[in-house]
Structure 1
Amino acid sequence: MAHIDVLAPNGGEVLTVGDPVSIEWTIAIAHGQLDWDVWYSTTGPAGPWIQIAMDLPPGSTAAGSVHNHMWTVPNAPSTMVRVRVRMDNTGADYEDISDANFTIQSSCCGTAYCDPNSLNSTGLPGLLEAQGSNLATDNNFTLHALQMPSNQFGYPLISSSQAAVPVAGGTLCLGGQIGRFTSNLFNSGSSGDSGPISLDLANLPSPPGGAVMAGETWNFQVWYRDSGTSNFTNGVSVVFQ
């Protein structure tokens, strides 16, 4: 049995450069630790290991107690990331690492505008983030909608123009010809967090149709159901390269 157990991130997560993330672990067998050391690896469980924090305060020494350290995700994109936590003791030291690899992805791109938009039925504004790559030829671009009402769907919208038009419960922040992606819909689930969905930059909905090209600026927004009406996230403007 492990003397400590890493709880998070513990494999499968997709983290974005610059995001604050809570590294969490628990004591399985108490030893009266002196302090904690935390590292990460971008090459899997064999390391090499890069320091996150050393000699963190011991906190509770009780078995079952949960400990955490806030970590700003570094600019080190990889699909083979692990964290490692060591319990420093007067006798033998004990450690644990993430059970499986997780991913650090680039923070990508994009400037938020119409931000924040109107509050929805949760009391918060819907939040839209752009992730992945802003290189048009990569065709590896995702949108992530958060703070939405639970178990609701939403459409990703795209336009080359911006606006600010009151519609239903919020503000439509796109102008001109507006395209609606229908093959990939947001579903907020029970948490109100849709998770990232991929958009095909080579096949834009019509209008506007065509493909995203280097040098173009495109604006994105999510139109979603909100109780008895509909609402919108903030807009995100992305310059593609």
Structure 2
Amino acid sequence: MIRNHPTAGFQFLNRGVALVGVVAAALPGGIASGDVLDGIADRDNTIYADDSGDNSNGQGDFVFAGTQASQGFARRALVRFDVSAIPAGATVNSAAVSLRLSHTIAGPELIAMHRLAADWGEGASDAPGQEGGGTPAAPGDATWNSAFHPATPWLALGGDFEIAISAVTPVDDIATYTWTGAGLAADVQAWIDGAAPNHGWVFKHADELSNATAKRFQSRQNPQAAQRPRLVVDYTLPCGNIAGFCSSSPNSTGQAALLAASGPPSVSGGSLDFVASPVPNQPGIVYFGGGQVNGGAGTPFGNGLRCVNAGATSVHRLPVSVAVGNQLSATLDFSVQPGANVLAGSVWYFQAWYRDPAAGGSGFDLSDALTVTFCP
């Protein structure tokens, strides 16, 4: 067995047995060009190059980049995103970070991103008013002097980061701005490959030589959730990858059903076998589609979670079978429908549905789910 784990229902009718399942209108294609991670920052802060160098704003509504008007003291925004949901071995096709500008004291200014080389903190500090000057750091906050105030200084004042610019974009008036390019994609690739630790990025003015260049952006704590810092990563899973996602709950056997695949996920191999177990010895199916429900977290359906939908492609089901020995088996034959929809390079998501009258409730349940990337 191969297994890697970190809508309304319609009726499937086969062999005289009515099974509640999920169907969707078939769409052309069946190839998913890539998976997408779309997430909000999990940590941010601003460090301030004022006289003390010990101000911060860990819980503030805003982060800042640029210089202030009177003395030209710099502000730098530190922002980190969790990319651990991207499987090891994935290839990053593109990465883009978006920030919402909410206030400015300057016209167009170049704001650059650099990959941070050291870990840093987001403490309990929360600057008053417009937050432009920060507030005295709380324990664990990042400051101009310290990665974690007061005990862990940066190696260099103002933060430890790579000299190379990962991305740069001109920021002018109030709007949403996006940073993208090969540098950002390379940073994320390094993180998921384990070549570099993920400490996020620093946003700073490209030169910090002039006064009055500061830009204020919405932070991850900002009450306007849609305007919080956002990272979108498009990536491709390696050929032959099989990875678990979503979750399942105990059924009438007392355990949760897990879905496993055996045999190489190669269209030239002829077929791929699936087994969901343990399940009650009742009818069930394995179905597959081009999308994940709720980003792979699923949505309540019957006694379990529905984790797979059509996405941008379609939903298909394999023939009904009856579980034997608490194992529900199904075979995906690439030479006939629906297996003929599976092409080399395509990504599909699989889940098992099965009857479970002894459990009560809706009388049916589901396994967890698998992502399969098919080889030639």
Q: TM-score, normalised by structure 1?
A: 0.48
Task: Determine which structure has the larger strand proportion and give its number.
Answer: 1
Task: Determine which structure has the larger helix proportion and give its number.
Answer: 2
Higher relative contact order (CA 8 A, sep 6+): 2
Q: State the structure with more CA Rg.
A: 2
